[in-house]
Amino acid sequence: MSENSGPCFNEADFREGTLLEFDAAKLGTDPATASFHRKSVTEGRETFGGANPIAFNVDSKTFDYSYVQNTITEKEYKDLVGGNIMLYGKATVSKTKYDPKVIPPGFPKEQTISDSQVFSPPVSFPMDMKPGQVVSQRTSVAKTKVINGVSGSTSSVPASAELIYHGRESLKTPLGTFNVCKLSLKITLSASGITKDSTKEFWLASEGPYRGQLLKGIDPKSPMVVTKMTYTPK
């Protein structure tokens, strides 16, 4: 059996309509008291960062108040090109609607605020890596706020990404025991002479009904394990 990482990624994740929803709990805690929940729905392509990547709706919620309705949507933008996964960035959009009966004359009935973080160029790494392989790339992270279609100033900082494929392991989880790929991703930001590192670890299933999905991670100091998952690939 190949020990490469290819089977631990699933092309179905990039097909419109694919649904992934899971709960996770920190190791050593009661699995019944999951502390993390994530739901991701693969949508169509959208214009983002000067490209046309695939949008992943990772959170969408609406809050209703007496005279205000606020909807917040978080999206991640990725693509699969020639066997490489491309990470374009993410955006949070907040749409607020006001009751026209209570707002002052001339006050806008709706307001849309978008906060985006764009990798330029996109972070790219191959799906099929050999154990011990390291992929490094230089990029920049640009942050922009847009209010009602009007862009504010953009701040951009140099960054680098390093992905390491450590190899295969056997992982026991509440969902069962799986053969998994272990990877780590380190993002380094450099601004005004200050360097900030962020490292995340991932254990991805190489087989079974959850192939390609995260079963353990993210924070190396306090990893979580998935306790419940619904995965409906298209």
Does residue 72 form part of some domain? yes
Identify the pLDDT of residue 1: 55
97: Cβ–Cβ under 8 A, 6 or more apart, which residues?
Answer: 68, 69, 70, 109, 110
The pLDDT value recorded for residue 32 is 67
pLDDT tens digits for range 89-127: 999 999 998 887 777 777 778 889 999 999 999 999 999
Instruction: Give the number of domains in the chain.
Output: 1
Name the phi and psi angles at 67, rounded to 5: -125, 10
Q: Is residue 67 part of a domain?
A: yes
Please give the residue range of the domain that contains residue 41. 6-232
pLDDT digits (tens, 9 = 90+) for 179-214: 999 999 999 998 777 888 899 999 999 999 999 999
pLDDT one-digit tens code per residue, 5-25: 999 999 999 999 999 999 999
pTM: 0.88
Residue 178 burial (10 A CB sphere; 0-12, 13-18, 19+): buried
Residues whose CB falls within 8 Å of the CB of residue 232, separated by 6 or more in sequence, listed in order: 18, 19, 20
Give the chain's mean pLDDT.
91
Give 24-70 pLDDT, tens digit per residue: 998 777 766 667 899 999 999 999 999 999 999 998 888 887 788 88
In a domain, 1, yes or no: no
Cα 139 versus chain centre, distance: 18
Closest CA to 176 of 218, 147, 205: 205
Q: What are 137-184's pLDDT values in tens digits?
A: 999 999 999 988 888 888 899 999 999 999 999 999 999 999 999 999
Residue 234 in contact with residue 18, Cβ under 8 Å?
yes
